[in-house]
Amino acid sequence: MNKSFITVRNAFSVLFIMILGNYLLLGSPFNAKQDSWLSILIAFAIMIPVGLMFARLVKLYPEQDIFFMFSDAFGRAGGIIGTIVFSLYAVLISAMVVQNYARFFQIITLWSTPFIVIAAGIILTAVYLAKSGESALGRWSLAIIVLLFVLIAIAFLMTSQEYNFDYLFPAFNSSFENIFAGSVSLLALPFGDIVMFLALGDSIKKGNGSYKIFMISIAVSIMLMLLVFFKNLCVLGQSTMESAVFPSYAAARMASLSVFFERIEAVISYYFVFAGITKTAVCLIAAAKGSARLLKVKDYRSVVVPVGLAALALSMTLFDNTTEMFDFIRKYPYLSLPLQIGVPLLLWIIAEIKHASKRPLPSMNKLLD
């Protein structure tokens, strides 16, 4: 199978949408109320070394995916276990994303449409995108990111008359425990899930700047997350933000585009679904690559459909309603953080040791020079 490479710009777009898409849909955790922006900054501080670690793994294993990394670092048996665990985890994330976005679309517009119809539509589109390859996924993501910046600019402009800066206060009124709890939630979702991007490591050409891809996408995402948080807070107020199921959408409903559109929220709702399709496609590619390695199938695209059907079936059984979905999201860090940060940390340490042992020692002449 010929490798489908992805450009730096498109790789940034994929990562950016994986991070910001989930945040725009679900909003900030409200452990710290008005001080939740501090949770965002702490999550950013923690994600800097985590992003550097991910980038280093891509650097150590040029044009290889995370499943190759498992085999090289952990050996054959450890590689198989790591591949199984991360393939199942990728299916779980796919099912969660489908649940999140299908519930959103059902609540805001398709009230009488069965959940399975909406979920199947998201999965089938993501399957098509995954089967098209990483390069097509990158081009799609770049187009979506352009739409995102346009929508954010319009939303800021059209809600400007609704801003009430009194909603920013009282400031610095939350305990560090609550602020840090919000940071942990953000680390797990949306930041931690970018570990799935390591499954696309074989589509990044050697020397294409893995550090640039990870660090710029994380930094830009944080800036926009802060802007969106303050916008939503100034428009809705803390109590409304906490009670709103999807706060960014609720804030967008306050915007009117006069003679051009009656409401902007319909356009934004479709963007949310596009972002969900992008993240689902990344996770399906990861699960398909892991499954293909286990089954010794050369082209992962041949197993994308079965993996997609498994994700669809799981999405139908995960939660019965939106309340259960958000209850699970609150518990999600306990399941995800060991896989998102703990396992890659162990992988990185072993990889550094193995690669250090393979480096040739300098000759005596060079030492004397």
Tens digits of residue pLDDT in 198-250: 999 999 888 778 899 999 999 999 998 998 899 888 888 888 888 877 887 77
Residue 85 vs residues 51, 65, 290, 294: alpha-carbon distances, Å: 21, 15, 9, 12
Tokens of 196: 């799935």
Tokens of 256: 């009117």
Overall average pLDDT of the 175-191 stretch:
90
> Under a CB-based contact definition with an 8 Å cutoff, are residues 322 and 129 in contact?
no
pLDDT band at residue 33, thresholds of 50, 70 and 90?
Answer: confident
The predicted pLDDT at position 314 comes to 94
Residue 252 above 80 pLDDT?
A: no
Overall average pLDDT of the 84-96 stretch:
95
The predicted pLDDT at position 259 comes to 40
- How far apart, in Å, do the first and last CA atoms of the chain sit? 47
Establish if 217 belongs to a structural domain: yes
When comparing pLDDT for 95 and 22, which is higher? 95
The predicted pLDDT at position 367 comes to 40
Overall average pLDDT of the 46-53 stretch:
94
CATH code: domain of residue 364: 1.20.1740.10
> Under a CB-based contact definition with an 8 Å cutoff, are residues 77 and 296 in contact?
no
pLDDT band at residue 368, thresholds of 50, 70 and 90?
Answer: very low
Establish if 44 belongs to a structural domain: yes
The predicted pLDDT at position 264 comes to 62
The predicted pLDDT at position 149 comes to 82
The predicted pLDDT at position 258 comes to 46
The predicted pLDDT at position 1 comes to 52
Establish if 3 belongs to a structural domain: no
Residue 278 above 70 pLDDT?
A: yes
Establish if 2 belongs to a structural domain: no
pLDDT band at residue 359, thresholds of 50, 70 and 90?
Answer: low
How many domains does the chain divide into?
Answer: 1
The mean of the pLDDT values for the chain is: 86
pLDDT band at residue 22, thresholds of 50, 70 and 90?
Answer: confident
The predicted pLDDT at position 52 comes to 94
CA angle 148, 107, 90 (to 5 degrees): 65
When comparing pLDDT for 55 and 257, which is higher? 55
Residue 197 above 80 pLDDT?
A: yes
When comparing pLDDT for 308 and 34, which is higher? 308
Cβ-count burial 25-51 (b if 16+ within 10 Å, e if not):
bbbbbbbbbbbbbbbbebbbebbeebb
Establish if 1 belongs to a structural domain: no
Instruction: Pick the closest to residue 60 from 262, 211, 237, 233 (CA basis).
Output: 211
Establish if 118 belongs to a structural domain: yes
Overall average pLDDT of the 36-50 stretch:
93
Give the whole-angstrom CA distance, residue 202 versus residue 148. 27
- What is the domain range of residue 176? 8-368
When comparing pLDDT for 113 and 79, which is higher? 79
Give the whole-angstrom CA distance, residue 347 versus residue 145. 31
Residue 195 above 80 pLDDT?
A: yes
Establish if 354 belongs to a structural domain: yes
Q: What is the pLDDT of residues 115-138, one digit of tens each?
A: 899 999 999 999 999 999 898 999
